[in-house]
């Protein structure tokens, strides 16, 4: 039969549900150099273009126009199973702007726009094999083009409402590879790319001139790739499925923030967040395949994921005034781990409670850039994951439980194990991001 592999008819019916990308670099680090420098704690105070991410309601509290563009650099020293785990996208361009459309002045409405263009590619989707040591919190979260418009409306002096819209594309279509009149394979493709939109909402409430409160909801976001294949080989119908439900995943998040600005020189903000990682279906590509007489199923069982909570404290103070102003920024945060202590079998997923330390400087010079204020900002943020370990257990006899690791021989499953996380999976390290930006306010 294998000699008759020339396919009489083979069709791949592809059903890819809409790509709903919210996973972006801003969810990891905050938006703009100021967001990075203040540990992302800006939901109640951001009113420039970066408010599109932190809280679009803040746009309504902005004045004039602003724009900035900067370079984002990231590097990691993550290790798992005694080997370094590299992350994607080490460089990208970030930028933001906000303004009030002339026609809409009377509505107290402002528009913002935020973008990130990773170097090298608009988007990179990378899923690792099940046994590969990996950090799902960081994988596939920063390597896509982001272009998010936002809108802020201020119906009354003390209240702002806002929304932003993140968009990418979903895919659906068919692919066939079938022999033509000459017997040679002829690919045929008909694929549709659909837009997919994911809104976020926020509001900001200023009960007193120096107190600012905020709430922000960001929807969950994932790329769902599901491929169903229908093939007829030598008259025999065959089926197969490949699926990754949650590539580029970002959880639904609720952030509550409170900021205090006792003077124009000082601001302090505390943001607490709840991130629904328990809905995450994992980073693995699920491949089900069938050969004559053999059915291959993915055997890796993923550990369950937990919701996380975070607290981030950020602030800034102006240390120099006058024609050359200097503002010092800083922040600190903690976030619980998406992974519990559940024992893993074939997988080697690593995550831990992270400590966030951030800092930065802003230099401001009035009337130095096209009549407006020149703003140059440097922001640095460090995520530290203390080393964490999970014991792994070898299967002693078949049938092997899903939370055990196995060797190649069914008669002696505890022998010849090549699992890189066996007998103890350890992982931790640091991830560092820095942004330097240049912009202006008019």
Q: How many CB atoms lie within 10 A of CB 85?
A: 21
Using a 10 angstrom Cβ sphere, with 0-12 exposed, 13-18 middle and 19 or more buried, the burial of residue 113 is middle
| 428 and 388 Cβ atoms separated by less than 8 Å | yes
> Which position has the token pair 């905020």?
214
39: left (phi over 0), alpha (psi -120 to 50) or beta: left
Q: Which of residues 331-350 bind other proteins (CB under 8 A)?
A: none
| Position 175 contacts other proteins (CB under 8 A) | yes
Report if residue 399 touches other proteins, rule: CB under 8 A: yes
Tokens representing 147?
């272009």
* Residue from 71, 73, 165, 171 binding other proteins (CB under 8 A): 171
Rounded to a whole number of angstroms, the minimum distance from the CB of residue 148 to other proteins is: 16
Q: Considering the complex, what minimum distance in angstroms separates the CB of residue 199 from other proteins?
A: 18
Give backbone dihedrals phi and psi of 171, rounded to 5 degrees, phi first: -130, 140
Selected from 188, 197, 323, 391, the binder of other proteins by CB under 8 A is: 188
Instruction: For the beta carbon of residue 361, count every other beta carbon within 10 angstroms.
Output: 18
- 161 vs 417 by CB, closer to other proteins: 417
Q: Indicate which single residue of 313, 400, 425, 431 sits in contact with other proteins (rule: CB under 8 A).
A: 400
Indicate if the alpha-carbon torsion angle 86, 88, 90, 94 is positive or negative.
Answer: negative
Helix (H) or strand (E) holding 439: strand 424-441
| Candidate residues 35, 413, 427, 439; the one interacting with other proteins per rule CB under 8 A | 413
Please identify, among the stretches 92-100, 191-199, 206-214, 328-336, the one whose residues bind other proteins according to the rule CB under 8 A. Answer: 191-199
For residues 253 to 292, the per-residue mask of contacts with other proteins, x marking binding by CB under 8 A and - elsewhere, is -------------------------------xxxxxx-x-
Stretch that binds other proteins, among 52-60, 201-209, 224-232, 360-368 (CB under 8 A): 224-232
Specify the residue, 297 or 367, whose C-beta has the smaller distance to other proteins. Answer: 297
Q: Which residues contact 16 (CB under 8 A, 6 or more apart)?
A: 170, 171, 172, 173, 224, 225, 226, 227
Give the 3-state secondary structure of residue 96.
strand
CB of 259 to other proteins, least distance (A): 34
Q: Across-strand partners of 315?
A: 268, 330
Residue 172: CB minimum distance to other proteins, A: 8
Q: Tell me the C-alpha distance between 58 and 61, whole Å.
A: 5
Between 61 and 138, name the residue whose CB sits nearer to other proteins: 138
The residue among 239 and 387 lying less far from other proteins, judged by its C-beta, is 239
Q: How far apart (Å, rounded) are the C-alpha atoms in residues 294 and 15?
A: 25
Q: Is 123 in the site for other proteins (CB under 8 A)?
A: yes
Nearest distance in Å: CB 186, other proteins? 4
Count of residues that bind other proteins according to CB under 8 A: 84
Q: Is beta strand 91-99 parallel, antiparallel or unpaired with respect to 83-84?
A: unpaired
Residues 83-112, interacting with other proteins (CB under 8 A): 103
> How many CA atoms within 13 Å lie on the side-chain side of 310?
29
Select from 59-67, 201-209, 238-246, 426-434 the region that touches other proteins (CB under 8 A): 238-246
Least distance between other proteins and beta carbon 107 (Å): 13
Q: Is 165 in the site for other proteins (CB under 8 A)?
A: no
Contact between 25 and other proteins (CB under 8 A)?
no
Q: What character string, x for contact with other proteins (CB under 8 A) and - otherwise, covers 304-333?
A: ------------------------------
d(CA 148, CA 26): 11
Of 297, 323, 326, 424, which lies in the binding site for other proteins, with binding defined by CB under 8 A? 297
Q: Of 352 and 372, which has the nearer Cβ to other proteins?
A: 372
Among 86, 295, 322, 371, binds other proteins (CB under 8 A): 295
How close are the terminal C-alpha atoms of the chain, in Å? Answer: 74
Only one of the segments 63-71, 180-188, 214-222, 272-280 lies at the binding site for other proteins (rule: CB under 8 A); that segment is: 180-188
Q: Which is nearer to other proteins, 207 or 416 (CB)?
A: 416
The yes or no reply on residue 192 touching other proteins (CB under 8 A) is: yes
- Calculate ∠ Cα 312-147-36, nearest 5°: 25
Strand, coil or helix: 18: coil
424 closest CA partner among 47, 60, 27, 82: 82
Which of 75, 82, 185, 278 is close enough to bind other proteins by CB under 8 A? 185
Task: Give SS3 for 388.
Answer: strand
């Amino acid at each position: 039969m294998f000699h008759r592999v020339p396919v009489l008819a083979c069709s791949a019916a592809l059903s890819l549900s809409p790509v709903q990308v919210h996973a972006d670099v801003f969810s990891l680090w905050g938006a703009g150099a100021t967001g990075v420098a203040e540990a992302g704690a800006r939901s109640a105070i951001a009113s420039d273009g970066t408010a599109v991410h932190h809280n679009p309601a803040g746009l309504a509290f902005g004045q004039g126009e602003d724009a900035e563009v900067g370079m984002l650099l990231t590097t990691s020293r993550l290790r798992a199973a005694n080997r370094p785990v590299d992350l994607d996208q080490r460089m990208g361009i970030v930028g933001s702007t906000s303004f009030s459309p002339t026609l809409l002045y009377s509505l107290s409405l402002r528009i913002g726009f935020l973008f990130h263009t990773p170097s090298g590619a608009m988007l990179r989707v990378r899923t690792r094999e099940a046994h590969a040591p990996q950090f799902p919190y960081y994988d596939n979260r920063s390597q896509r083009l982001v272009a998010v418009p936002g809108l802020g409306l201020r119906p009354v002096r003390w209240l702002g409402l806002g929304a932003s819209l993140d968009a990418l594309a979903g895919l659906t279509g068919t692919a066939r590879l079938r022999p033509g009149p000459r017997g040679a394979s002829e690919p045929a493709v008909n694929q549709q790319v659909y837009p997919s939109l994911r809104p976020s909402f926020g509001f900001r409430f200023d009960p007193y001139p120096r107190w600012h409160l905020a709430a922000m909801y960001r929807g969950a976001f994932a790329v769902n790739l599901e491929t169903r294949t229908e093939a007829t080989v030598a008259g025999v119908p065959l089926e197969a499925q490949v699926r990754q439900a949650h590539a580029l995943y970002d959880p639904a998040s609720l952030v509550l923030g409170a900021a205090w600005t006792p003077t124009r020189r000082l601001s302090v903000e505390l943001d607490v967040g709840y991130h629904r990682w328990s809905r995450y279906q994992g980073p693995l590509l699920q491949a089900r395949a069938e050969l004559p007489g053999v059915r291959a199923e993915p055997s890796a069982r993923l550990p369950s994921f937990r919701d996380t909570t975070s607290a981030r404290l950020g602030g800034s103070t102006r240390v120099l005034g006058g024609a050359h102003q200097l503002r010092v920024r800083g922040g600190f945060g903690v976030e619980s781990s998406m992974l519990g202590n559940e024992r893993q079998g074939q997988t080697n997923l690593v995550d831990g409670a992270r400590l966030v330390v951030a800092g930065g400087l802003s230099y401001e010079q009035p009337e130095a850039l096209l009549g407006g204020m020149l703003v140059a900002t440097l922001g640095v943020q460090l995520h530290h994951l203390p080393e964490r370990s999970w014991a792994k257990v070898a299967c002693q006899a078949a049938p092997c439980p899903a939370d055990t690791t196995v060797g190649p021989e069914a008669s002696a499953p505890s022998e010849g194990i090549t699992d890189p996380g066996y007998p103890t999976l350890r992982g931790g390290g640091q991830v560092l991001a820095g942004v330097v930006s240049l912009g202006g306010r008019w």
